[in-house]
Amino acid sequence: MAEPSPEQEVVFSLEKIYVKDISYEAPHVPQVFLEKAAMEVDLQLGIEHKPVEAAEGLHEVVLTVTVTARVEKRTAFLTEAKQAGIFRIVGVPGEEMAKVLEIACPNILLPFSREVINDLVSKGGFPQLLINPVNFEALYQQKMSSEQPNGQSAH
């Protein structure tokens, strides 16, 4: 790994963490509580980032976690949390910045998202929902390989 130049010290710090948006709905309660079938849980992740004050090195990163649970093809609950943070990132070379914003920052935000989602689900009367660790580096590599062919996203 290359040494950062003395005039450009690398800074990476979490300045603020907050919930930007949150939703929870359970359209088929109390009927789904009476179902004997197993619950199927689907988890979707999204990462957004943008500079807040570029001159200061401030970036907002938003990790969106969406969980849909179904019992017998009926939605038991649907919850989404947009966990956000403001990060100060200075001295990171341009080609490495995307990795920091899409790997390091979401790794910091995930435990906060996990707590918010679990709290909502539990307060909704459902069993505890633990979100497994996520390999953001693998997700980043998938994203980069899907954008490779023509420099366009395959989404």
CB neighbour class for 5 (10 Å; exposed up to 12, middle 13-18, buried from 19): exposed
In a domain, 155, yes or no: no
Give the CATH number for residue 115: 3.10.420.10
Amino acid at 1: M
Taking the model in full, what pTM does it have? 0.87
Number of structural domains the chain divides into: 1
What is the overall mean pLDDT for the chain?
Answer: 91
Report the 10 Å Cβ neighbour count for 137: 13
Residue 3 lies inside a defined structural domain of this protein: no
* 153 part of a folded domain: no
pLDDT on residue 150: 55
The string of pLDDT tens digits covering residues 60-85 is: 999 999 999 999 889 999 999 999 99
- The tens digit of pLDDT for each residue in 133-150 reads 999 999 999 988 988 665
Got the DSSP string for 105-138? Answer: HHHHHHHHHHHHHHHHHHHTTPPP-PPPP--HHH
| Domain extent at residue 56 | 11-147
